[in-house]
A = this chain, B = another copy of it.
Amino acid sequence: MTSTIRPLKKKKVRQENEKIILDAAEKVFSEAGYGGATMQLIADVAGLPKANLHYYFPTKESLYRQVVQNIFNVWLVAAEVFDSATGPAEGLGAYIDAKMEISRRHPAGSKVWASEVMHRAPIIHDYLETALVDWTNDRIKVMQGWVEAGLMDPIDPRHLLYMIWATTQHYADFNHQIETLNHAQPLSDKQWQAAKRNIKRIILKGIGVPESELSRL
């Protein structure tokens, strides 16, 4: 009896503790960078002894790697709205909304990702070369199709994609600068809505979506 229950119990404890540690690690890594973060500080934030971290994650690097992989998955899931669209106004509009929502809800994750890429992705280099390259090439083909169908101007989809990534993630990665320029206040609900509306309008109009489709942003 106990032999069938105990393992489940133990697995649940492990799952919960890993979640607590990963949340604390994401926060600390985003605030201090990889080199500036210490296992001691992550342990304090998680409310656990430092040795426990090494029990669940053998090394600092393995813990960090898990944090980055989790963030990568959030990006991928959010990108699914891109696919079920019939054209740029719908597809890119929904994609921008989804990415802005992530920037608002998970700025720490976005910062860890940005920091990792800025330092030439020493830990998740393989992810960039496989998953990201494949995903990007697929979306570029979709946008190329929209160009050929006359749904948008003949611009280079690659630079459009970079612009969307850069702008949406800027609201997470540079949130401190944005708050400083907003009278030291976080953006309100209305300001986030305005940000989304302005971004979508400029980009969609900029690639040739007719004004009639812009009114319902």
> Chain B residues with Cβ under 8 A from A199's Cβ?
159, 163
Q: Which of A6-14, A26-34, A72-80, A143-151 contacts B (4 or more CB under 8 A)?
A: A26-34
How far, in whole Å, are A137 and B105 apart by their CA atoms in the complex?
A: 28
Q: Decide: B201 and A202 in contact? CB cutoff 8 A.
A: no
Q: Mark A19-59, 1 if CB is under 8 A from B, else 0.
A: 00000000000111111110000000000000000000000
Q: Decide: A163 and B111 in contact? CB cutoff 8 A.
A: no
Q: Decide: A120 and B176 in contact? CB cutoff 8 A.
A: yes
How far, in whole Å, are A87 and B153 apart by their CA atoms in the complex?
A: 24
Which residues between 161 and 188 of chain A lie within 8 Å of chain B, taking CB atoms? 162-163, 165-167, 169-171, 173-174, 176-178, 180-181
Give the oligomeric copy count. Answer: 2
What is the minimal beta-carbon distance from A7 to any residue of chain B, in angstroms? 39
Partner of A201, one of B33, B133, B155, B158: B155
A-B contact pairs, 13 of them (CB 8 A): A31-B119, A32-B35, A34-B36, A35-B37, A117-B174, A117-B177, A156-B198, A162-B178, A163-B202, A166-B166, A166-B167, A203-B206, A205-B207
Q: A33-B34, A153-B205, A159-B202 are in contact. List 18 more A-B contacts (CB 8 A).
A: A32-B35, A114-B173, A117-B176, A118-B174, A120-B176, A133-B180, A155-B198, A155-B201, A158-B181, A159-B194, A160-B198, A162-B167, A163-B170, A166-B167, A205-B205, A205-B207, A206-B206, A206-B207
